[in-house]
């Protein structure tokens, strides 16, 4: 029997088949979550279809209710000027420079170290974060993330961030008077061998994407341990929240490769956020952003999100539907 080597054209079509297969797997992994979103709130579907297009978004932003400026008291972020944050959000989609008091991020880090988390968003994969390697061996799968879901509400320091009046005030001045709390979550991203594309996609890691959980959104992120280049820093594409190439308005894909995004929004536009434990930043998540897979150190992150529609109970803690 003679075995013929595939020529260049065959190799290209095999590559295209593999790429399409991976794209389909990436779409398929989110479908159960989307179906559940529609069942829970039928208004989610028109939002999901239309909120990616600039004309529909502009129309929706017109409905933002003006809010009266008032003095914010009892915030843990003393010295941060709300208007500076809102101005940066409007121009860049990102403001970095919120700093958590030491006792707050230390209390959350201590709480999560002795609380079991759920691997890859799956409640069947429960493990102690300090035993990540053993858990991978026990379950026989790479564990890319560990989420706390509602368990984080038992941590007083996390609740103090969630309820901080400055965050609510910034959200109201950026999103309008309809702003409401829609997410609170804390999770680990772990360095791991061979995470699948589907797991990376669910964990929003490694590919630029924009969020479509609501018409208008704002996400505050806090690093609860130091984050350097090897700890899976968050990356945000400055300015991409207010302009959008047509192909990115009509796309069904959640994740987009870096070259494709930076070709449109500029090589200089991504900001990689590294910093000490306690660093906080806030972004308009309609702008392209991503987490990166940690190379050597686990990352511990908190998110407090605001939107303008009633929050979904499941999404409040960032939980997708896993099959
Ligand atoms: O883990 C990260 O840094 C990314 C999180 C993210 O993309 C999101 O919450 O939409």
Query: For residue 105, what is the enclosing H or E element?
Result: helix 102-113
**Atom from ligand 1 closest to the CA of residue 204:** 7
Using the mean position of ligand 1's atoms as its centre, give its distance from the Cα of residue 63 in Å.
27
Note whether residue 290 is domain-resident: yes
Q: Residue 8's pLDDT band (boundaries 50, 70, 90)?
A: low
Number of structural domains (the chain) is 1
Band of the pLDDT at 311, cuts 50, 70, 90?
Answer: confident
In a domain, residue 64? The reply is yes
Q: Is residue 322 part of a domain?
A: no
**Share of residues in the chain with pLDDT > 90 (%):** 73
Provide the pLDDT for residue 184: 97
- In the predicted structure, residue 241 carries a pLDDT above the cut 70: yes
238's CB contacts (< 8 A; 6+ apart) are 92, 93, 94, 265, 269, 270, 271, 287
Average pLDDT over residues 248-260: 85
How many angstroms separate the first and last alpha carbons of the chain?
44
Ligand 1: centre distance to CA 5 (Å): 43
Return the higher-pLDDT residue of 202 and 167.
167
Distance in Å, CA 7 to ligand 1 centroid: 41
Whether 204 lines ligand 1, by a CB cut-off of 6 Å, is: yes
Cα–ligand 1 centroid distance for 168 (angstroms): 20
Query: What is the CA(190)–ligand 1 centre distance, in A?
Result: 14
Edge-first strand listing for the sheet containing 218-223: 94-99, 279-283, 218-223, 299-307, 180-189, 145-147, 117-119, 126-127
Region 260-289: what's the mean pLDDT? 96
Question: What residue's CA is closest to ligand 1, atom 9?
Answer: 204
Enter the tokens of residue 77.
Answer: 């972020």
Q: Kindly report the protein residue whose alpha carbon is nearest to atom 3 of ligand 1.
A: 291
Q: With a 6 A CB cut-off, is 213 part of the ligand 1 pocket?
A: no
Q: How confident is the model at residue 28 (pLDDT cuts 50, 70, 90)?
A: confident
Residue 323 lies in a domain: no
Q: What number does the ligand 1 atom closest to the CA of 285 have?
A: 10
Cα separation, 287 vs 93, in Å, equals 7
Residue 18: what pLDDT?
Answer: 54
Of all atoms in ligand 1, which is nearest to the CA of residue 318? 9
Hey, is 295 helix, strand or coil?
coil
Residue 1: inside a domain = no
Helix (H) or strand (E) holding 96: strand 94-99
Which atom of ligand 1 is the closest one to the Cα of 305? 9
For the segment 108-164, what is each residue's pLDDT rounded down to a tens digit? Answer: 999 999 999 999 999 999 999 999 999 999 999 999 999 999 999 999 999 999 999
DSSP secondary structure letter of residue 229: G
**Structure tokens, 209:** 């994407």
The pLDDT of residue 201: 77
Please name the residues in contact with 163: beta carbons below 8 A apart, sequence gap of 6 or more: none
Starting at the edge strand found earlier in the chain, the sheet holding 289-291 runs 270-273, 234-237, 289-291
Q: Examine the pLDDT at 13 and tell me if it is beyond 80.
A: no
Q: What is the Å distance from ligand 1's center to 291 Cα?
A: 5
Residue 131 belongs to some domain of the structure: yes
Cα 209 to ligand 1 centroid, rounded to whole Å: 9
Residues 6+ apart with CB under 8 A from 187: 117, 145, 146, 147, 148, 300, 301, 318
Determine, yes or no, domain membership for 123.
Answer: yes
What is the spatial distance between Cα 188 and Cα 225, in angstroms, rounded to a whole number? 10
* Rounded CA separation 203/131 (Å): 20
- Cβ 100 vs Cβ 164: under 8 Å: no
Residue with tokens 């991504």: 270
Of 199, 207, 229, nearest to 296 by C-alpha is 229
Q: How many residues are given for the chain?
A: 323
**Mean pLDDT score, 76-103:** 97
At 203-236, the pLDDT tens digits run 778 889 999 999 999 999 999 999 999 999 999 9
291 lines ligand 1 (CB under 6 A): yes
- Contact 120/145 with Cβ under 8 angstroms? yes
Whole-model pTM: value is: 0.90
Average pLDDT of the chain, as a whole number: 91
Question: 30-39, 67-76, 156-165, 282-291 — which is least confidently predicted?
Answer: 30-39
Residue ranges making up the domain that contains 232: 8-317
**117, containing H or E segment:** strand 117-119
| Ligand 1 mean position, distance from CA 64 (Å) | 25
Residue 2 confidence class, pLDDT cut points 50, 70, 90:
very low
Residue 18, domain CATH: 2.60.120.620
Region 34-47: mean pLDDT is 89
Checking if the pLDDT of 1 tops 50, the result is: no
- The percentage of the chain sitting over the pLDDT mark of 70, rounded to a whole number, equals 91
Nearest to 312 by CA among 230, 235, 213, 234: 213
**Ligand 1 atom with minimal separation from the 299 CA:** 1
């Amino acid at each position: 029997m003679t075995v013929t080597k595939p020529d260049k054209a065959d190799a290209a079509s095999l590559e295209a088949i593999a790429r399409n297969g991976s794209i389909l797997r990436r779409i398929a992994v989110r479908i159960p979550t989307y179906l559940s979103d529609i069942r829970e709130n039928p208004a989610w579907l028109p939002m999901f279809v239309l909120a990616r297009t600039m004309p529909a978004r502009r129309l929706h932003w017109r409905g933002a209710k003006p809010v009266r400026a008032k003095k914010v008291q009892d915030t843990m972020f003393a010295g941060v000027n709300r208007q500076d944050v809102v101005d940066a959000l409007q121009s860049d989609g990102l403001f970095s420079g919120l700093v958590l008091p030491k006792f707050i991020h230390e209390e959350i880090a201590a709480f999560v170290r002795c609380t079991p988390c759920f691997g890859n968003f799956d409640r069947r994969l429960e493990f102690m974060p300090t035993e990540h390697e053993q858990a991978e061996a026990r379950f026989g799968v790479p564990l890319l993330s560990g989420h706390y879901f509602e368990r984080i509400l038992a941590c007083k320091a996390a609740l103090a961030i969630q309820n901080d009046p400055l965050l609510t005030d910034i959200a109201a001045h950026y999103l309008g008077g309809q702003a409401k709390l829609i997410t609170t979550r804390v999770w680990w991203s772990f360095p791991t061998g061979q995470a699948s594309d589907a797991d990376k996609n669910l964990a929003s890691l490694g590919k630029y994407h924009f969020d479509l959980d609501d018409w208008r959104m704002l996400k505050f992120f806090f690093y609860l341990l130091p984050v350097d280049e090897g700890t899976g820093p968050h990356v945000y594409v400055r300015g991409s929240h207010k302009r959008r190439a047509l192909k990115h308005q009509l796309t069904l894909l959640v994740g987009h490769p870096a070259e494709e995004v930076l070709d449109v929004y500029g090589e200089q536009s991504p900001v990689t956020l590294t910093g000490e434990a306690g660093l906080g930043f806030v972004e308009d998540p309609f702008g392209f952003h991503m987490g990166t897979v940690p190379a050597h150190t686990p990352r511990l992150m908190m998110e407090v999100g605001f939107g303008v529609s009633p929050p979904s109970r499941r999404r409040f803690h960032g939980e997708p539907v896993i099959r």
